[in-house]
Amino acid sequence: MKAKQLQHDGIILDGSLFIADRERETLIRSMDSNTVIPFDAIQIENGVASLTLNSVKKELVDKESQLLLVRFPAEFLSKSFRPDADDFNALNALSYKENRNALLVDDAIVRRLEGTLPRVNIEGNVYQVDWENRRLSGEGLADISIKSRLSESPLELAKSAFHYDLATRQTVMPDFRASVMPDNIILVFLPDIRWIDPIGYARSTGLEDTALLPRYPMRGDTTMLKSVALAQTSFADVVEANRKKEIEAAKKQVIRRSRKR
């Protein structure tokens, strides 16, 4: 399906992509065309369309299903539906704020579904995030192997980290015997991969591509990774301890030499 058509006709309900057939007045699940929701089964009140889904099968609910209320703009069902980028952003922001469990297919989602990889920025160096191969790769840059620890709290994004040399633009392992703080080395924090590439992570685990989007929104094409200078980490204590050891060793050497005279 072409990008423009996907944006016009696609809607994500509880993480499943549905395509609107406005001529036949139905929503058809993208990965299972047998799952169909007729427009006349959707309730509309004050401009908001709502329905209750089986949260496992993504079908209209019956009495013994796991209930999930889904709400989205009623205008989506109209043949005249023609939102612009600002409309997508505003409507999806409202959906996250009110836990509506429904998202319109915006530019960022379309690009990722079509294969565009998200990017991260490390102090001006831009890498593509290739979660399938567990690496960061950038033009003229050495690949960086990555791992990502999962966190259920958005406040605990920085769960894995690596050392990065700004001069060579490569990952490094600091010398824990050093008595002088090395220049140009920073500690880079990699968030839970679901916050960087929810579609790629879902795909890698066998979930529907859009399954995680209701909880983990697309954050644009490029994520700025948090970093701190090595001197601001616990490595500074290691260097200071080594420096003191060297001073003590030098003093003892002076004493030994003086006794030999």
- What residue segments make up the domains of the chain, in order of their start? 3-111, 117-243
Alpha-carbon gap, residue 8 to 20, rounded angstroms: 9
- Vertex 136, ends 31 and 138: CA angle to 5°? 110
Confidence (pLDDT) at 158:
45
Max Cα–Cα distance, the chain, nearest Å: 103
Distances (CA, A) of 196 to 118, 128, 136, 206, 220: 7, 11, 12, 18, 9
Residue 154's nearest CA partner among 108, 100, 95, 198 is 198
pLDDT over 90 at 206, yes or no: yes
This model's pTM is above 0.85: no
Radius of gyration of the chain (CA): 26
pLDDT over 70 at 61, yes or no: no
pLDDT over 60 at 34, yes or no: yes
Residue with tokens 């960086």: 144
Using left for φ > 0, alpha for ψ between -120 and 50, and beta otherwise, residue 241 falls in alpha
Q: How many CB atoms lie within 10 A of CB 132?
A: 12
Share of the chain above pLDDT 90, in %: 66
pLDDT over 70 at 85, yes or no: yes
